[in-house]
Amino acid sequence: MKAGIGLGAILKAASFAAEKHREQRRKDAEASPYINHPIALANVLANEGGVTDPSVLCAALLHDTIEDTETTAEELKRLFGDKVTAIVLDLSDDKSLPKEVRKEEQVRHAPHISTEAKLVKLADKICNLRDILASPPADWSTERKRAYFEWTTRVVAGLRGVHPGLEAVFDGLVARQSELNCSER
């Protein structure tokens, strides 16, 4: 990446993420391969959001590597540079904290992260909501899904203004969940 960042770097990030996440599965009923998630983020950013910044697209592909694999910040810095690493670090939860504390930290931290990290975080929340609507974890009750949507809405409140088009996509997913909740009552 030291020679510049472009399409080659994005493909390198996809390959790196695929290797790092190769044994991981999503929590959906099908236990789909985890790599589908970071690829979906990059796709949302590029094809729905018109985001062309290679650093943002690389960070989308790598966003969970520090948090969920043995990847270190130093490793990312060496392979992908300071900017991509800074974005990924902005997005990484402190796994030493209890889950509920991490969730509240995301809400608190969201308004203060970089613009690039906000874009990735917004795409992450869009993809997570789509996954829950299409194929939720088998053990999630209606109440748990509703609570997740409410929490995600609190996180995205701190991202507002970064990309109105993607925010509208997010809002549409929240509205869809609300309609489903009303029809289930």
pLDDT band at 5 (very low <50, low <70, confident <90, very high): confident
28: CATH: 1.10.3210.10
Is the model's pLDDT at 183 over the cut of 60? no
Model confidence over 45-69: pLDDT tens digits?
A: 999 999 999 999 999 999 999 999 9
Among 2-6, 104-108, 123-127, 174-178, the minimum mean pLDDT is found in 2-6
Share of the chain above pLDDT 70, in %: 95
**Residue 18: inside a domain, yes or no?**
yes
Beta-bridge partner residues of 33? 25
Mean pLDDT rounded to a whole number for the chain: 93
Q: What is the pLDDT of residues 112-171, one digit of tens each?
A: 999 999 999 999 999 999 999 998 888 899 999 999 999 999 999 999 999 999 999 999
What residues have CB less than 8 Å from 120, skipping those under 6 apart?
41, 45, 56, 59, 60, 63, 87, 91
What pLDDT, on the 0 to 100 scale, is given for residue 178?
81
- Tell me, what's the pLDDT at 138? 84
The radius of gyration computed from the CA coordinates of the chain, to the nearest angstrom, equals 16
Residue 40, domain extent = 7-184
In a domain, 1, yes or no: no
Task: Place 2 in a pLDDT band, splitting at 50, 70 and 90.
Answer: very low
The catalytic residue positions are: 67-68
| pTM, full prediction | 0.93
How many CA atoms lie less than 13 Å away from 123 in the CB half-sphere? 28
- The answer to whether position 25 is within a domain reads yes
Evaluate whether 76 touches 85 at the Cβ level (below 8 Å). yes
- Residue 89 maps to a domain: yes
| Residue 12 covered by a domain | yes
Tell me the C-alpha distance between 72 and 34, whole Å: 19
Q: In this prediction, what percent of the chain has a pLDDT beyond 90?
A: 84
Of 151-155, 171-175, 179-183, least confident by mean pLDDT is 179-183
Examine residue 2 and state whether it is found in any structural domain, yes or no.
Answer: no
Work out how many domains the chain is built from and give that number. 1
Tell me, yes or no, whether 88 lies in a domain.
yes
Q: Where residue 184 falls among pLDDT bands split at 50, 70, 90?
A: low
Asked if residue 44 belongs to a domain, the reply is: yes
What integer pLDDT is reported at residue 1 of this predicted model? 35
Write down the residue that tokens 């080659």 correspond to.
8
In whole angstroms, give the CA distance from residue 157 to residue 126.
13
